[in-house]
């Protein structure tokens, strides 16, 4: 950020420089978010970003928030080649992504690796919202998991996930499934998982039954992603889980809680690592 600011000195006023927001680097594409006051200078800012990060071939401006069932966003090319597809390297893996058609955030790299480090040899993992397969592939590469069932409803994410499984040579261990997580779990993945990933903050609560159905009979670990607000971001999610899982005959133990990043001023993207067991079972 500091070097982009320096590159833009003399092009933007002091006031404008103070308004610059953090950008993402995804493979050879830079992704900018700009406040309305800076939109007239988007081309100059995009070109400056390419001078600062010389490996970039394209700079995109995010013109809508991430939204909709597939969690995609509208993008506009402001500098370089007109494309939205690239290869991104992370944790010894390579991911092909199309930023226009699928969800992807390089900011979740630490979180993906954090989960992978917890996976024990022989585990079966069910990833309910796998996107282009990043978490599933990082798990397969960095653990001795037996299988990572990877579900996504977006056909473009599924297509790229299949390609990423091939590129990263994790075929046979990461198993891609196209469809709605509820239907896929009910029809193909009941009672299989030692561990369930629920990376759909804001909507994961609607899939609690699906996560419980996916777990093995004796229970297991669930990584539950949600949105929480100051002053007490975790409590509403924990209360929801204890109440709703309790009604269904399950006990919840919170093993770990973590804020991933802020959403706006007072809201956070958070994760709870949970141990879920049928009541009365030790």
Ligand X SMILES: C[S@@+](CC[C@H](N)C(=O)[O-])C[C@H]1O[C@@H](n2cnc3c(N)ncnc32)[C@H](O)[C@@H]1O
| Cα-Cα-Cα-Cα dihedral sign, residues 7, 8, 10, 13 | negative
Task: In angstroms, give the least distance from the CB of 36 to ligand X.
Answer: 26
Terminal C-alpha separation, the chain: 50
130 alpha-carbon distance from chain centroid: 8
Task: In angstroms, give the least distance from the CB of 112 to ligand X.
Answer: 6
Task: In angstroms, give the least distance from the CB of 132 to ligand X.
Answer: 6
Nearer to ligand X, 52 or 97 (CB): 97
CA dist 123 and 169 (Å) reads 19
Task: In angstroms, give the least distance from the CB of 156 to ligand X.
Answer: 9
Nearer to ligand X, 58 or 210 (CB): 210
Using DSSP, state whether 265 is helix, strand or coil: coil
Task: In angstroms, give the least distance from the CB of 210 to ligand X.
Answer: 9
Task: In angstroms, give the least distance from the CB of 171 to ligand X.
Answer: 19
CA dist 28 and 81 (Å) reads 10
Nearer to ligand X, 49 or 208 (CB): 208
Nearer to ligand X, 134 or 208 (CB): 134
- Beta strands at 85-90 and 93-98: parallel, antiparallel or unpaired: antiparallel
Nearer to ligand X, 58 or 135 (CB): 135
- The footprint of ligand X (CB under 6 A) covers 69-71, 102-104, 108, 112, 129-131, 134-135, 151-154, 157, 180-181, 199-200
Cβ neighbors of 34 (< 8 A, separation 6 or more) are 20, 21, 42, 45, 61
> Which residue reads 């040899």 in tokens?
121
CA dist 266 and 15 (Å) reads 24
| Cα-Cα-Cα-Cα dihedral sign, residues 20, 22, 27, 29 | negative
Task: In angstroms, give the least distance from the CB of 279 to ligand X.
Answer: 28
Task: In angstroms, give the least distance from the CB of 179 to ligand X.
Answer: 7
Nearer to ligand X, 70 or 240 (CB): 70
Nearer to ligand X, 5 or 33 (CB): 33
Nearer to ligand X, 156 or 251 (CB): 156
- The strand ranges marked E within the chain are 24-26, 29-32, 58-62, 75-80, 85-90, 93-98, 124-127, 147-152, 174-178, 195-198, 220-229, 250-263, 267-278
Distances from the Cα of 44 to the Cα of 36, 49, 214, 222, 227, angstroms: 15, 9, 50, 45, 35
């Amino acid at each position: 950020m500091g070097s982009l600011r320096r590159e833009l000195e003399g092009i933007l006023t002091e006031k404008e420089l103070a308004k610059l927001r953090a950008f993402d680097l995804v493979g050879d594409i830079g992704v900018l978010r700009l406040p309305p006051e800076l939109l007239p200078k988007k081309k100059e800012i995009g070109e400056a970003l390419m001078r600062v990060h010389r490996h970039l071939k394209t700079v995109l401006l995010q013109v809508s928030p991430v939204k909709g069932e597939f969690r995609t966003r509208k993008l506009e090319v402001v500098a370089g080649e007109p494309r939205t597809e690239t290869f991104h390297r992370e944790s010894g893996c390579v991911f092909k992504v199309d930023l226009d058609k699928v969800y992807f955030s390089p900011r979740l790299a630490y979180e993906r690796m954090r989960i992978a480090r917890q996976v024990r040899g022989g585990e079966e993992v069910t990833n309910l919202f796998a996107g282009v397969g990043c978490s599933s592939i990082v798990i397969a590469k960095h653990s001795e998991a037996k299988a990572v069932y990877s579900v996504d409803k977006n056909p473009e994410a599924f297509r790229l996930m299949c390609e990423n499984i091939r590129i990263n040579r994790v075929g046979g261990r990461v198993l891609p499934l196209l469809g709605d997580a509820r239907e896929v779990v009910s029809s193909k993945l009941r009672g299989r998982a030692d561990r369930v990933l629920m990376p759909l903050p804001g909507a994961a609560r609607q899939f609690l039954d699906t996560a419980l159905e996916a777990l093995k009979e004796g229970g297991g670990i669930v990584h539950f992603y949600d949105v929480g607000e100051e002053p007490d971001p975790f409590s509403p999610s924990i209360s929801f889980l204890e109440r709703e899982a309790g009604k269904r005959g399950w006990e919840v133990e919170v093993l770990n809680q973590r804020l991933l990043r802020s959403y706006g001023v007072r809201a956070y993207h958070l994760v709870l690592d949970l141990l879920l067991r049928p009541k009365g079972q030790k």
